[in-house]
């Protein structure tokens, strides 16, 4: 697939995390139900977990906006000198410094504040070294956001394209949906590359451009150093 036309990397695009933009589906119904009743969280803690792009971050922002919670990024987490008097949310919580996370959980418990965590795996599986933190994480109720249904993937691709204000014929969207990996992350990557490819070509999205995007994603998947998607079918093969 080295002969495939190389498309430039997509422009930076800020995702929208408004409540109206979230796409409800059976795969995220359990998570939404738990978020609607924080008073039922055991010890006031809940963790959402699932694959990249499944909607964890979006749900964290929606819940924070509804409850006035303070948002933290796990990798950048530092136990605050002035502890916020509000519910807490921590995205990528499995990447947080262990001592800062432990102090924050302890302070939240003492203050009776709810804590919402998000990561790709349940807290009980995080490879933590501090015994006290491991004990607290094992007690956190973890809710999985399951793999997306076909209807959700279709709606997500259409919404992502609309966000970027690019028009893609429904037939081309159908063609792409048959060939992209069945993940939300793949839909986001495809939409970003279609956007930039259309801008670079100075024309609308055609099936030829969609094929070039698929080949570009497949080249990324073939690169051992790439953090790409799995099982992307070559567009040149499916065109034959």
> What residue has token string 């993937």?
153
Lowest mean pLDDT among 100-109, 113-122, 128-137, 191-200: 191-200
Model confidence pLDDT, tens digit, residues 228-238: 443 333 333 33
Q: Which domains does the chain have, with CATH numbers?
A: 26-144 (3.40.50.300), 150-239 (1.10.8)
18, pLDDT greater than 90? no
> What residue has token string 């956190």?
140
- The CA distance from 70 to 20, in Å, is 20
Mean pLDDT, residues 24-32: 96
Cβ atoms < 10 Å from Cβ of 12 = 6
Where helices occur in the chain by DSSP H, the ranges are 26-35, 56-67, 98-111, 131-138, 150-163, 170-179, 184-201, 207-222, 235-239
Residue 131's pLDDT band (cuts 50, 70, 90): very high
Mean pLDDT, residues 124-132: 97
Where helices occur in 46-91 by DSSP H, the ranges are 56-67
Model confidence pLDDT, tens digit, residues 38-79: 999 999 999 999 998 899 999 999 999 999 999 999 999 999
DSSP state of 10: P
> What residue has token string 């259409």?
158
Compute the mean pLDDT over every residue in the chain, rounded to the nearest whole number.
85
Residues 6 or more apart from 104 whose CB is under 8 A from it? 72, 77, 79, 80, 88, 90, 115
Model confidence pLDDT, tens digit, residues 182-231: 888 888 888 988 988 888 777 778 888 888 888 887 777 655 454 444 33
């Amino acid at each position: 697939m080295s002969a495939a036309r190389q498309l430039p990397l997509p422009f930076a695009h800020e995702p929208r995390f408004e409540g109206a933009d979230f796409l409800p589906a059976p795969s995220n119904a359990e998570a939404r139900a738990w978020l609607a009743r924080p008073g039922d969280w055991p010890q006031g803690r809940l963790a959402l977990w699932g694959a990249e792009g499944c909607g964890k971050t979006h749900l964290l922002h929606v819940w924070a906006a509804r409850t006035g919670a303070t948002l933290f990024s796990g990798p950048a987490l530092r136990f605050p000198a002035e502890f916020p008097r509000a519910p807490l949310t921590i995205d990528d919580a499995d990447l947080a410094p262990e001592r800062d996370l432990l102090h924050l959980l302890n302070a939240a418990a003492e203050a009776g504040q709810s804590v919402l965590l998000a990561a790709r795996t349940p807290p009980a599986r995080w490879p933590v070294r501090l015994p006290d933190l491991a004990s607290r994480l094992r007690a956190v109720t973890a809710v999985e956001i399951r793999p997306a249904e076909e209807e959700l993937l279709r709606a997500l691709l259409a919404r992502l394209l609309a966000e970027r204000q690019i028009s893609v014929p429904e037939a081309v969207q159908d063609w792409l949906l048959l060939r992209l990996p069945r993940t939300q992350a793949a839909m986001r990557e495809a939409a970003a590359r279609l956007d930039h490819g259309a801008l670079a070509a100075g024309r609308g999205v055609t099936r030829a451009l969609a094929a070039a995007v698929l080949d570009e994603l497949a080249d990324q998947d073939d690169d051992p150093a790439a953090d790409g998607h799995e099982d992307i079918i070559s567009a040149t093969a499916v065109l034959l």
